[in-house]
Each structure stands twice: as structure tokens, then as C-alpha cells.
Chains A and B, each alone.
Chain A
């Protein structure tokens, strides 16, 4: 068992303890007379669901010691999926109670119900809105920025209302220490949000960066070169990423995650991010003036170069080349001669970002490149279409399970490649993937 796996297992246990310990604490000391099984079960899932919702703030608080064993994209994936479970539990809580307690179905009008129940309505309404807007943001045509602000606001209201509902009902909170425990918990949850949105930005404010160059690349892509302004900056590992706040202060809620594309071997703190125009926030990158003050929160991510003894197979789709570029540049700067194989899918020959530099890097690194074009020119003799398992068989030495695979690109491509590697009996521990559209 690797150290990362062990840390991952420990964190899952800690996560479950944070959900279940406050629930089982209610069984200690004195408590009111028991009711029927389904009523008690409904109460238990209500408390658990609320604790899970509160811990969502912890999952997105960008604590490196939490995210490192999994990778930031997987943490966000877990955050999204577990929210469905939490909302399911919270919604099931009143439904079961309504089913087993007929008197609850004869409630007076909304204005006459106890305030504890009104907060339950508010909490559930916010939770359902939260899930709907998160799952169908694109279909609802919500911009990432609008959605992000609404997401945080709805989450705070949902958890606060859920907490007030619990206090209003107060069936299990007769003992002062139990009441105190369940008051401290939401304060801690909201405190995590305060840490991310206020405390951390205060530190970032004192460590700004300046844009020193905006470089045009192939494929409607621009590279921002940023230098620390009045501080030494941070060191990152190739393949990692940072949250960029380009316009405004670090208190602005919408930072955007981008991989570093520069070599991690530089020592002056300079970092580069290569950003493709995808029609959203990225549309305005080429307009960024040299000298612009920006803020970087990082480095993050577990997508980084592995065991030097293994052959590294880098599989990039489109702008997914950026973390790979950082890896290849770093290996070149470090004089590392491990074999590297780059399978690089692009739309057409003109849009192959870093095409010329990669050819130059072949002279400094033991690098083999296979370009795959979706729309190749008429005289193209190379690979065409999409990256397939057949291409691995054509180019990679066997046994396939001996190589380290790094995959970054559009979700559909990554799903297909992970499936293909599974068919080649490559164990999961040999895959490293980063989905750049994880928010």
C-alpha cells in the first residue's frame, strides 16, 4: 500500500467520523423517550445529511493535505457526487416523517407552521436549487461566475437554515453539551468558507504577480508569463495547476484553475499558464496588458511526474498539452533522460499548440511524439481521427503495465483512453489523469 493510498484511506475514515460521531454523540447522556423505528431513522439521516452538507465546505477548501492523495479534480467529482447522497438523505428525512406520522400531514398553512419547519422548507428548497444549477449549469445558460456566486450563497443559506431547523425542533439537543456540539459544527463548516474566501485572499493580496509577457501560441492559445512581485513566489511540480484571479482582487469569488505550462526547474518564481480561447472567461486573455497585477493560489494537484525508472506515456488532447509541456520542459532543464512518449491529439495541423518547440525538445529529452489529427491535411501520412487502443499497440513497447500514463484532455477522450488502458490490463495505479473542466 503506497503512502498516498494510506493517506486516502485515513481521510475517508476521518470523513465518516465527522459525519457519524456527532450523530452517535446524541445517544450519550440523557435523551427523550424513543419513538418508532422509522421516525428515529428519519431523524438519523436528517442529522447525517446535514453533516455531509456542512463537510462540503471542507472538500472545496483547497487543503493540500486533503486533496494530495486524490487530485483536485477527483475531490471536486466526489464533492459533486456526494452532494446527491446528502440531498437525498435530507429530502428523505421529511418524506419518511410525513409517511409515518399522519398528524404532520395535517399541518396548518405555511405561515402557521413552527419556525423550525419553515427553515426546513427553506433549506430543502436551497439544496434542490443548488443541485439543479450545479448539474445543469450549461443547459440553464448560467455563466460560471454567476453560478459560482449563487452556489456559495445557496450553500450557506441551506446549511444555516438546516441548522436553525434542527435547533428549532431541538428534540435531541436537550443537554447543553449536545446543543453546544451542534452549534460549534456549523460554525466550523462556515469557518472553512471564511478561510477560503477571506483569510486565504488576505495572504494572496500580499503576494501578487505581474504579467511580464503575453505570448501567442498556435491553436487560439495565449501564454501568460507571470513574475512574483516583491516575494520569491512558490515552487511547483510539473503537471500541477493554480487558481488564477486575473481581474480584480483575490477576494473576488471566481478564480479559474489552469495548469502551469512552464518548466518547474526555474528558480526565480516565474510561472506560465497557456490558456486556449474557449469562448468564456478565456476569451479576454489576449487583451491582458503587460504589467497587469494578478493573483495565483497554488500549486495544487497530484498529476505530476512519477517514478524515474518507468517510461512516461503522455496522452494529451487539445489544450490538455499544457501540463505535459511543463513535464517535458522540466525534464529537459533537469537533463533527465527517462524515455517519454507523447501521444497528442489536435483538431488540425495548424492548431497543434507548441508544435515547433516540441520538435526542438526532442533534441534535449528522450522524447517520441505521435501527432493525431481529427482533420488532417490531404498529404498527411500520420495518425488521424482519435486516440485509440490500437495506437498504443502500434507504438508502445510491451508490457504496457510497466509504463506510467498521464492523460489530460476533454472528458470524452479521457473516458475512452482510460477504457482502452483497462483493456490492455494497465493497473489503475499506473494511470494519472487530470480533467481540466472539473468546475
Chain B
């Protein structure tokens, strides 16, 4: 079950990193 929690953390980390990369790119294009 803790591994399931770890899997969710992996998924959440992936989403956060991709979203932050979008934010990075948008801030460059907009800035």
C-alpha cells in the first residue's frame, strides 16, 4: 500500500514538473 502511495507521489511529481515547465515556457514567451 505504501508502494501505491509512492506511485501516486511519482505521478504527482510528474504532473508538477510538467506544469512548472509549461509555466517556465509561458513566462519566457510572455516576458
B24 touches A89 (CB 8 A): no
Kindly count the residue-residue contacts between A and B in the assembled complex, taking CB atoms under 8 Å apart.
88
* A37, B25: Cα distance in complex, Å: 6
Q: Which residues of B contact A19 (CB under 8 A)?
A: 17
Measured between C-beta atoms, what is the minimum distance from A239 to chain B in Å?
A: 14
B1 touches A40 (CB 8 A): no
From 34 to 51 in chain A, residues with beta carbon under 8 angstroms from any chain B beta carbon are 34-38, 40-41, 43-45, 48
B24 touches A85 (CB 8 A): no
Q: Which residues of B contact A48 (CB under 8 A)?
A: 17, 20-21
Q: Which residues of A contact B10 (CB under 8 A)?
A: 78, 81-82, 85
- Across the interface, name the chain A residue whose C-beta is closest to B18: A45
B24 touches A23 (CB 8 A): yes
Q: Which residues of B contact A36 (CB under 8 A)?
A: 29
B1 touches A428 (CB 8 A): yes
Q: Does A15 contact B (CB under 8 A)?
A: yes
* A82, B18: Cα distance in complex, Å: 13
A428 touches B24 (CB 8 A): no
* A34, B27: Cα distance in complex, Å: 9
Contact among A82, A89, A431 for B1, CB-based, below 8 A? A431
Contact among A12, A40, A52, A431 for B24, CB-based, below 8 A? A40
Q: Does A201 contact B (CB under 8 A)?
A: no
A78 touches B6 (CB 8 A): yes
Interface of A is mostly: helix
Q: Which of A69-77, A105-113, A159-167 contacts B (4 or more CB under 8 A)?
A: A69-77
Interface of B is mostly: helix
Measured between C-beta atoms, what is the minimum distance from A395 to chain B in Å?
A: 21
Q: A15-B13, A20-B17, A34-B31 are in contact. Are A77 and B25 (CB under 8 A)?
A: no
From 4 to 31 in chain B, residues with beta carbon under 8 angstroms from any chain A beta carbon are 5-7, 9-10, 13-14, 16-18, 20-22, 24-29, 31
* A280, B2: Cα distance in complex, Å: 28
Measured between C-beta atoms, what is the minimum distance from B18 to chain A in Å?
A: 7
Q: Which residues of A contact B16 (CB under 8 A)?
A: 16, 20
* A12, B11: Cα distance in complex, Å: 12
B3 touches A89 (CB 8 A): no
A40 touches B29 (CB 8 A): yes
Measured between C-beta atoms, what is the minimum distance from B14 to chain A in Å?
A: 4
* A15, B31: Cα distance in complex, Å: 28
Measured between C-beta atoms, what is the minimum distance from B9 to chain A in Å?
A: 6
* A40, B31: Cα distance in complex, Å: 12
From 326 to 369 in chain A, residues with beta carbon under 8 angstroms from any chain B beta carbon are none
B3 touches A74 (CB 8 A): yes
Among A31, A44, A82, residue most surrounded by chain B Cβ atoms (within 10 Å):
A44
Q: A16-B16, A20-B17, A82-B10 are in contact. Are A27 and B24 (CB under 8 A)?
A: yes
B17 touches A52 (CB 8 A): yes
Binary interface encoding of chain A residues 76-103 relative to chain B, with 1 for a CB under 8 A from any of its CBs, else 0: 0110011001000100000000000000
Contact among A44, A74, A422, A428 for B21, CB-based, below 8 A? A44
Q: Which residues of A contact B27 (CB under 8 A)?
A: 27
Measured between C-beta atoms, what is the minimum distance from B20 to chain A in Å?
A: 5
* A366, B27: Cα distance in complex, Å: 64
* A36, B26: Cα distance in complex, Å: 9
Q: Which residues of A contact B24 (CB under 8 A)?
A: 23-24, 26-27, 40-41, 44
A77 touches B26 (CB 8 A): no
* A27, B16: Cα distance in complex, Å: 18
A422 touches B28 (CB 8 A): no
- Across the interface, name the chain B residue whose C-beta is closest to A438: B3
* A232, B26: Cα distance in complex, Å: 58
A-B contacts besides A81-B7, A82-B13, 9 pairs, CB < 8 Å: A15-B13, A16-B16, A16-B17, A19-B17, A27-B24, A74-B3, A74-B5, A74-B6, A82-B10
Q: Could you show 13 A-B contacts with beta carbons less than 8 Å apart?
A: A15-B13, A16-B16, A16-B17, A24-B24, A43-B25, A44-B22, A44-B25, A45-B17, A77-B7, A81-B6, A81-B10, A82-B10, A431-B1
Q: Interface residues, chain A, CB within 8 Å of chain B?
A: 12, 15-16, 19-20, 23-24, 26-27, 31, 34-38, 40-41, 43-45, 48, 52, 70-71, 73-74, 77-78, 81-82, 85, 89, 418, 421-422, 428, 431, 433, 435
